[in-house]
Amino acid sequence: MEPWWREQWGNPSSRQHRLGLTAAAAIGSAREHLAGSLGIRSEELIFTSGATEANNLALLGHARARTLSDGGAGHLISVASEHHAVLDPLLQLQEEGFQITLLAPQKDGLITVEQLEQAIQPNTQLISVMVANNEIGVVQPIRDLSAVCRNRGITMHTDAAQAYGHLPLNAEELGCELISLSAHKFNGPKGIGALVVRAGTQLQPLQWGGGQEQGLRAGTLPVPLIMGMAAAAELSMQDLEDRQARLQALRDQLWEGLKDRNPTIQLNGALQPRLAHNLNITIPELSGSRLLRALRPRLACSSGSACSRGEPSHVLRSIGRSHIEAEASLRLSLGRDTTASDIDGAIEVITTAIQTLTQR
Ligand SMILES: Cc1ncc(COP(=O)(O)O)c(C=O)c1O
């Protein structure tokens, strides 16, 4: 990213001088690279400020466009365990007259094709289901779910923020017309992401201005962030399989180690199919806030999402955990640099905290 902050600071929309043209060419190759990694054409990738904006653009932009083409607001389906960046735009659309159905996931965090089929109505316009859950890591059967939408005039959106860079993804195989991405979920910079808009998908912009991104997302492109996103994507694709295998073994070591030393702890979400670097556990009958306070000096972990506004996790509540259980839960994420001795350290720190708090 460095040279794009300091030396090549041209605006890619300024095509009358060399600095601008250089920036535009760099954006072109970054876009091509990202598009290629998903098996789509460059024109099908719109840069946004992250997955929150991509989700808003996908949901509000498509639903509002459908109101015009279908002659009114219809029915939209999603899942109660989605990120707030999907749930809150849907609440907004409800205010605008759309009818919303939120499916309740099974106890393992997954939803089934049968559940989706039962929820579909003649006026269903859009379905939004995330690839991988940000709290419990479970991976939804997107291919099977999108197959249900085909030939029914229903558009499929998926929030792939947690999956891109961690699982092999191909837009055609996913069968989704709209796909949201976020760079900081695969070690890229914060403040940049993208929305995949497959050719022929109706979309209204959320903002108007300089006409960038085919008029779908006006605003000067943040060149250094986009270069960082493309570089991070390249790095995460290079060792994807090896990293997944290594992190899955370490994650399983963490789970087995914690369970052996603390037999009452429970796993949240199915162990498979699940992101290799995610573990989420409930420690029954322990105060969640005291546990987090005890761990804070040694471990960076949380009981829910960074976007949860301090409430107990709605994801854990949606799979049947009580308010108290949801608070007494830990979301543990491994990173590309996590080692086996980090895992042993984490098992030790968590076990000591649990034992100290239960003895009190
Ligand atoms: C599943 C999911 N969707 C959306 C977001 C929001 O992404 P961003 O921070 O890029 O706006 C996140 C991250 O917090 C996420 O995990």
DSSP 172-202: HHHT-SEEEEEGGGGT--TT-EEEEE-TT--
- Ligand 1 mutation pick, 185, 229, 333, max ligand atoms within 8 A of CB: 185
Q: Examine the pLDDT at 308 and tell me if it is beyond 70.
A: no
Task: Kindly report, as residue ranges, where domains of CATH 3.40.640.10 are found in the chain.
Answer: 2-238
Q: Do 31 and 91 touch, CB atoms closer than 8 A?
A: no
- Residue 236's SS3 state is helix
Is any atom of ligand 1 closer than 6 Å to the C-beta of 193? yes
Q: pTM of the entire structure? A: 0.97
Measure the CA–CA gap between 214 and 218, rounded to whole angstroms. 8
Where helices occur in 107-239 by DSSP H, the ranges are 113-119, 142-149, 171-174, 223-238
pLDDT band at 303 (very low <50, low <70, confident <90, very high): confident
- Ligand 1 mutation pick, 83, 90, 187, 308, max ligand atoms within 8 A of CB: 83
Distance 295 CA to ligand 1 centre (A): 25
Q: Examine the pLDDT at 342 and tell me if it is beyond 60.
A: yes
Distance 359 CA to ligand 1 centre (A): 38
Atom of ligand 1 nearest to the CA of 182: 10
> Chain-wide mean pLDDT for the chain?
96
- Ligand 1 mutation pick, 166, 307, 331, max ligand atoms within 8 A of CB: 307
Contact residues for 355 (Cβ-Cβ < 8 A; gap 6+): none
Can you give the length of the chain in residues? 360
Is any atom of ligand 1 closer than 6 Å to the C-beta of 134? yes
Residue 182 corresponds to which tokens in the numbers above?
A: 């976020």
Distance 85 CA to ligand 1 centre (A): 7
pLDDT of 302 reads: 84
The third-level CATH classification (topology) of the domain covering 240-359 is Aspartate Aminotransferase, domain 1 (3.90.1150)
Measure the CA–CA gap between 204 and 264, rounded to whole angstroms. 50
Closest Cα to residue 46, out of 186, 206, 193, 163?
A: 193
Distance 52 CA to ligand 1 centre (A): 6
pLDDT of 311 reads: 82
pLDDT of 305 reads: 62
Is any atom of ligand 1 closer than 6 Å to the C-beta of 181? no
Contact residues for 7 (Cβ-Cβ < 8 A; gap 6+): none
Is any atom of ligand 1 closer than 6 Å to the C-beta of 50? yes
CA distances from 144 to 40, 79, 107 (A): 20, 15, 19
* CATH top-level class of 2-238: alpha beta
Which of 149, 176, 301, 307 is catalytic? The answer is: 307
How confident is the model over 70-110, as pLDDT tens digits? 999 999 999 999 999 999 999 999 999 999 999 999 999 99
Contact residues for 286 (Cβ-Cβ < 8 A; gap 6+): 328, 354, 357, 358
Q: Examine the pLDDT at 307 and tell me if it is beyond 80.
A: no
Task: Kindly report, as residue ranges, where domains of CATH 3.90.1150.10 are found in the chain.
Answer: 240-359
Is any atom of ligand 1 closer than 6 Å to the C-beta of 76? no
Q: Do 100 and 93 touch, CB atoms closer than 8 A?
A: yes
Distance 190 CA to ligand 1 centre (A): 10
CA torsion, ordered 141, 38, 177, 314, to nearest 10 deg: 50
The neighbouring-strand residues paired with 350 are none
Cis, peptide link before residue 273, omega less than 30° from 0: yes
pLDDT band at 199 (very low <50, low <70, confident <90, very high): very high
Is any atom of ligand 1 closer than 6 Å to the C-beta of 137? no
- Per the annotation, the verdict on 307 as an active-site residue is yes
Contact residues for 317 (Cβ-Cβ < 8 A; gap 6+): 323, 326
Token pair 């653009």: residue: 57
